[in-house]
Structure 1
Amino acid sequence: MPEAIWITFAFVLGLGVKAVGLPPLVGYLAAGFVLSGLSSFTGLAVEQTGVLEHVAHLGVLLLLFTVGLKLKLKSIVSPEVIGGGLLHFGITCLVFTPGLYWLLELDWATALLLAIALSFSSTVLAAKVLEGKREIRAFHGRVAIGILIMQDLIALVVMSLAAGKTPSQWALLVFGLPLLRPLLYRLLDASGHDELLVLLGLLLALVLGGLGFEAVGLSSELGALIFGAMLANHPRSQELSKSLWSVKEMFLVGFFLQIGIGGLPDQQALMFAVVAALVLPLKGILFYFLLLAFRLRARSSFLTSLSLTNYSEFGLIVASVALPEWLVPLAITVSLSFVFSAPINRFAHSIYERVCHRIDRFESHKRHPDEQPISLGDTKVLVMGMGRTGTAAYDWLSANEERIMGLDSDPAKTEKHQKEGRHVVFADAEDITFWEGLHMPSVESVVLAMSDIEGKLIAARMLRKLGFTGYIVAHTMYADEAERIREAGANQAYLTMSETGVALASHLAEHHQRIEDVRALEQAKLPK
């Protein structure tokens, strides 16, 4: 069975690259090429089938749906996203088109379409990397995803023009989708927390978003993304995203296998891919300076650019429609960019710390919304990370302490807290420049409530490095992480589940004590 062979090779090579510190998706890509080679040289029946193609497509739809669940559209409509995305696309096409025309002796139309295919960055890879680091909702993650959405929309237009197809008149119904949001909210509320929740996600992503948009002549990928974005403001959107996590991850293995199994390249295809890989850094450099031009800080520009320094699976889709003869060379090009981009992005923060002093000089002196505070004033208690745990800690502490401040790396979340009356500002604990300029003269205690272990470790180390001698407390899910946090400088790191159990027991003890007090009072009133 081909499926058994796919699963075996994907697991073995995925586990192998994970052991050397690379993301498993690099192993899945390698598994695809190994299987393609086995098919060519041994006759082993591992060629791509309709099943693998369908699984891969479902994985992409589910990924885009879960990305949509984490998006606030108002944060995407910004100058750096629209301007940066369009300018990068235009400049790339202007530079690549004549270069491809002269070097490869192509006609202008083919050179332009190839340039367009190479101008896109990978939504699948960038979203997966950012999601793995829990940075999709950080400022740089939101800018990266916004630019990717801009590119995907451009790709959809190009594919429509190249295929000579136009959406049907029913496509206008898409503009009425916001009217369905109350119904979708009710369905999400009524779905509970078990398998119905998963089925609702599959229904929206694959049926309504996927097949529904295809039926009216639009992209299924766009449909999945839009239906996810329509639920982004619902309180249970993240629960829905987590419920789909395992299904999405399994299907995405098929996507990466599909790229490799598509066929082995010839010498010309390899040369094309190598040259394209060599100019890949220029793509990231262009993004970096464009984002700086829109007044982003150097760190935000660097991390966003690094996320976008790769070639896109949408380039393969464009090629399958308009340039089928270039599909294999582009598949190798995309694969090489993944091999380069995935490990680089894993160490993005460490790389920035090493080069920040060299590249920060290009930063604009004008302020931008991603600017972070340099002084905490008379703040006495600091809560870093304003998710559910951080918010609960803030609310409990604020009952007895007015000089309290919350920090969070999600601008939309900070705005929400500010509207609810909390003193919360934007700041990213993993940003070295934030710590370098921070002044915290009155802070006595710090609560580390970020979801990311790396953020907690960096915050604890930097606080002690700044000379902070106050009390630092954190929470985590795992005992080994708690030990690492304490070694980084925290006074105490509590296990989340253990503390939940203690809290439940304390509530029960308080209840029993109240009953005993009532009984004692009743006994005292009885005549002796």
Structure 2
Amino acid sequence: MPEAIWISFAFGLGLLVKTVGLPPLVGYLAAGFVLSGISAVTEVTIEATDVLAHIAHLGVLLLLFTVGLKLKLRSIISPEVIGGSLLHFGITCAIFTPGLYLLMDLEWQTAFLLAIALSFSSTVLAAKVLETKRELRAFHGRVAIGILIMQDLIALVVMSLAAGEAPSKWALVVFGLPLLRPLLYRLLDASGHDELLVLLGLLLALVLGGLGFEAVGLSSELGALVFGAMLANHPRSQELAKSLWSVKEVFLVGFFLQIGIGGLPDSEALIFAVVATLVLPLKGLLFFFLLLLFRLRARSGFLSSLSLTNYSEFGLIVASVALPEWLVPLAITVSLSFVISAPLNRYSHALYERLGSSLERFESRTRHPDEQPVSLGNTRVLVMGMGRTGAAAYDWLSENERDLMGLDSDPAKIQQHQEAGRNVVFADAEDNTFWQGLHMPALEAVVLAMGDIEGKLIAARMLRHKGFTGYIVAHTMYTDEARKICEAGADEAYLTMSETGVALASHLMDHRPAMPSQTAGNT
């Protein structure tokens, strides 16, 4: 079976480019071009098969399904996300379309679709870079991911229009899909944490979303996205996304292999890719100034923009539907942008240290609400992380402590706590900007109740770095994590399950009836 050999070869090149800090998909694409070159100089026939095309399509559906799992309205309903993404898309198309039309002698429609493909940034690359640096929940990370989700939605609309298929009358059934959400939630709860969870994701993305939407005359890509979005608010949606990540990556190998095997790039394709790469900095600059327009600080605007300074695999997916003859030039363009973007993002903070003084001149005098410096005022006890553990600690402390405050990075959770009468404000412990603007003149004690170990480690280090000498206590599930938290600066780190056991035993001792004393006859 040739596909197995091709995928093995792609794995080898993907592993090779990963060792030098580049995304593996650059290696997958290179593998396709190498195989195409072998076919051109030898008598061995290597061409894309129906099996490879099917694998590629499954990879695209899984990619869109995982995008849908992240499609939470609160992550995109903000002026900087909606306004920044739409303005950038409109300005890019307005500039690129006439430029491509005049310089390359293309038809207006082709130039416009190419401009659309070049307007998108890579969701895969940006998410991986931000996750590696633990900045997905930082303010600039949330802005970047929100803009990417908006771009993905625009790409899906373009693909649906380009396909030009008229839906059947049964397509109206789609409007009733929200009624299935309770059933889907139950299935997700019942699927456990192992292979059933992966199979459920494949069933929803490929069968119900892909084949189901195709059966009623709608785009299979739209179906995969919709079924992912229906589960986005479930507490285990991100667990499902992580479980599908590797499966999706394997299938996407077929997508990039298919492009490379389609033919070697000619001189015109290479020139197009080089020119598009040379104008890549303009894409980042446009994002930067648009984000400053929405009152972001220069630092946040710079870090968000750098994450978005690349071209997108979604541009290739759009081209596969609307401009198949441009797949190879666009694929080389995307690869070159990754070669540039990946190392720049790795050293983004060091770059800002050098450029910050120059960039800060462009900041607005009024700050974005999420970037205002935080002052704890008279707060004496601080609870960081207002999940179940943090909320329980807050409620117990509130009985004896009036100068109490809670911090959390989830705006929806903050609103719930505020409605319940708790003094909780927005802050992200993993965001350096928060620590730079934090004032804590009266603080005496801190409870670290965040869900992830990295947030606790950062908070403990930064509190001590800012000169805090008070008491820091944390909880964790594992002994090795407790040791790391204490090494980072915490005074104590208790094991959650051990403390739960102690609490249960104390309740038993408090409420059980007194045991009758033994009599002499029992001796």
CA 1:465–1:43: 2 relative to 1, 3 Å: farther
Q: How does 1:422-437 map to 2 (within 5 A)?
A: 422-437=422-437
Task: Say which of 509, 515, 522 aligns to 1:521.
Answer: 515
Contact 2:160–2:219 (8 Å) recurs in 1: no
Confirm whether residue 490 of structure 1 aligns to residue 486 of structure 2. Answer: no
Distance in 2 between the 1:336 and 1:160 partners? 28
CA 1:438–1:197: 2 relative to 1, 3 Å: same
CA 1:65–1:306: 2 relative to 1, 3 Å: same
Confirm whether residue 225 of structure 1 aligns to residue 225 of structure 2. Answer: yes
Contact 1:23–1:343 (8 Å) recurs in 2: no
- For the residue of structure 2 that corresponds to 1:406, the secondary structure is strand
Tell which deviates more after alignment, 227-236 or 8-17.
8-17
Distance in 1 between the 2:75 and 2:252 partners? 27
Distance in 2 between the 1:57 and 1:493 partners? 51
Contact 2:259–2:327 (8 Å) recurs in 1: no
Distance in 2 between the 1:114 and 1:455 partners? 41
CA shift, 1:57, in A, is: 3.1
Matched AA of 2:498: V
Q: What CA deviation, in whole Å up to 9, does each residue of 1:59-94 have, x standing for no partner?
A: 333333233333322442333333222211111111
CA shift, 1:247, in A, is: 2.9
Distance in 1 between the 2:349 and 2:416 partners? 27
CA 1:411–1:132: 2 relative to 1, 3 Å: farther
Distance in 2 between the 1:349 and 1:456 partners? 21
Distance in 2 between the 1:458 and 1:481 partners? 13
Confirm whether residue 68 of structure 1 aligns to residue 64 of structure 2. Answer: no
CA shift, 1:272, in A, is: 1.0
CA shift, 1:41, in A, is: 4.2
Unpaired segments of 5 or more residues in structure 1?
none
CA shift, 1:475, in A, is: 6.0
Distance in 1 between the 2:412 and 2:41 partners? 54
Distance in 2 between the 1:485 and 1:16 partners? 35
Q: What CA deviation, in whole Å up to 9, does each residue of 1:402-434 have, x standing for no partner?
A: 544332333233334434444332223343332
Confirm whether residue 265 of structure 1 aligns to residue 259 of structure 2. Answer: no
CA shift, 1:328, in A, is: 0.8
- For the residue of structure 2 that corresponds to 1:407, the secondary structure is strand
Unpaired segments of 5 or more residues in structure 2?
none
Distance in 2 between the 1:313 and 1:474 partners? 41
Q: How does 1:141-156 map to 2 (within 5 A)?
A: 141-156=141-156
Distance in 2 between the 1:91 and 1:408 partners? 36
Distance in 1 between the 2:22 and 2:458 partners? 22
CA 1:175–1:40: 2 relative to 1, 3 Å: same
Look up the match of 1:502.
498
Tell which deviates more after alignment, 397-406 or 107-116.
397-406
CA 1:201–1:322: 2 relative to 1, 3 Å: closer
Distance in 2 between the 1:366 and 1:14 partners? 46
CA shift, 1:276, in A, is: 0.6
CA shift, 1:329, in A, is: 0.5
Distance in 2 between the 1:258 and 1:39 partners? 14
CA shift, 1:513, in A, is: 6.6
CA shift, 1:320, in A, is: 2.9
Tell which deviates more after alignment, 427-436 or 277-286.
427-436
Contact 1:62–1:224 (8 Å) recurs in 2: yes
Matched AA of 2:184: L
Q: What CA deviation, in whole Å up to 9, does each residue of 1:102-121 have, x standing for no partner?
A: 32233333222221221122
Tell which deviates more after alignment, 469-478 or 172-181.
469-478
CA shift, 1:40, in A, is: 4.1
CA 1:467–1:74: 2 relative to 1, 3 Å: closer
Contact 2:460–2:490 (8 Å) recurs in 1: no
Q: How does 1:34-73 map to 2 (within 5 A)?
A: 34-41=34-41, 47-73=47-73
TM-score when scaled to structure 2? 0.85
CA shift, 1:439, in A, is: 0.6
Look up the match of 2:80.
80
- For the residue of structure 2 that corresponds to 1:425, the secondary structure is strand
Distance in 2 between the 1:221 and 1:131 partners? 25
- For the residue of structure 2 that corresponds to 1:522, the secondary structure is coil
Distance in 1 between the 2:450 and 2:359 partners? 28
Q: What CA deviation, in whole Å up to 9, does each residue of 1:271-324 have, x standing for no partner?
A: 111111111121121112112222333344333322322212232233333333
Among the aligned pairs, what percent are the same residue?
Answer: 78
Contact 1:69–1:241 (8 Å) recurs in 2: yes
- For the residue of structure 2 that corresponds to 1:5, the secondary structure is helix
Distance in 1 between the 2:429 and 2:3 partners? 44
CA 1:318–1:194: 2 relative to 1, 3 Å: closer
Tell which deviates more after alignment, 240-249 or 274-283.
240-249
Distance in 1 between the 2:445 and 2:259 partners? 51
Distance in 2 between the 1:273 and 1:95 partners? 17
TM-score when scaled to structure 1? 0.84
CA 1:354–1:368: 2 relative to 1, 3 Å: same
Contact 1:67–1:127 (8 Å) recurs in 2: no
Look up the match of 2:302.
302
Distance in 1 between the 2:408 and 2:35 partners? 45
Look up the match of 1:359.
359
Q: What CA deviation, in whole Å up to 9, does each residue of 1:194-250 have, x standing for no partner?
A: 444333322222222222223334333332222222222233334433443443344
Look up the match of 1:180.
180
Q: How does 1:99-118 map to 2 (within 5 A)?
A: 99-118=99-118
- For the residue of structure 2 that corresponds to 1:405, the secondary structure is strand
Distance in 2 between the 1:424 and 1:346 partners? 33
Look up the match of 1:468.
468
Distance in 2 between the 1:241 and 1:526 partners? 66
CA shift, 1:456, in A, is: 4.6
Distance in 1 between the 2:279 and 2:20 partners? 26
CA shift, 1:142, in A, is: 4.0
Distance in 2 between the 1:26 and 1:391 partners? 45
Contact 2:68–2:229 (8 Å) recurs in 1: yes
Look up the match of 1:206.
206
Contact 1:68–1:227 (8 Å) recurs in 2: yes
Look up the match of 1:251.
251
Distance in 1 between the 2:445 and 2:42 partners? 65
Look up the match of 1:283.
283
CA RMSD in angstroms, aligned pairs only: 3.6
Distance in 1 between the 2:400 and 2:45 partners? 69
Tell which deviates more after alignment, 45-54 or 88-97.
45-54
Distance in 1 between the 2:500 and 2:296 partners? 45
